[in-house]
Structure 1
Amino acid sequence: MPQGEKSKYTDKQKRQAEHIEEGYENRGVPKDEAEARAWATVNKNDGGGKQPGGSGRKKDSK
């Protein structure tokens, strides 16, 4: 179900999604649905994937 690329997520966000997914599966939610809900929760909490470090501003190439 989830189709986005996960390379932009930090290791912490990936661990959180895995932990959340396990919780949903323990409650009987199907694997695909659990994964989709887990990533939706990570996105809700953190605002999406983030590359670690930096202020987000592009550096001037002088």
Structure 2
Amino acid sequence: MPQGDKSKYTDKQKRQAEHIEESYEKKGLSEKEAEARAWATVNKNDGGGKQPGGSGRKKADI
């Protein structure tokens, strides 16, 4: 997954980022900075993309 790819995020996370971005833009931040801060906030709150298929450790065979 290339850097900046948002395909692993749920629809809810994408909506949250959009609303947060709009809020930052209303406060006077540039569009680029608002988007970066919005996704950082979503990552902080949820721990990143939630859809399966992302990187992670293999589960131990028991």
Q: TM-score band, normalised by the shorter chain? A: 0.7 to 0.9
Residue 36 of structure 1: how far off its partner (Å): 0.1
Percentage identity across paired residues of the two chains: 84
Structure 1: gaps (5+ residues): 53-57
2:47 is aligned to 47
TM-score of the pair, normalised by structure 1: 0.77
One-letter code of the match for 1:10?
A: T
1:16 is aligned to 16
Structure 2: gaps (5+ residues): 53-57
The secondary structure found in structure 2 opposite 1:49 is: coil
Give the count of matched residue pairs.
Answer: 51
Segment drifting more, 22-31 vs 3-12: 3-12
- Provide runs of 4+ in structure 1 moved above 4 Å: none
Distance 1:13 1:29 in 2: 21
1:25 is aligned to 25
Distance 2:15 2:24 in 1: 14
Q: CA RMSD in A?
A: 1.5
Residue 23 of structure 1: how far off its partner (Å): 0.1
The secondary structure found in structure 2 opposite 1:42 is: helix
Establish whether residue 4 from structure 1 lines up as the match of residue 9 from structure 2. Answer: no
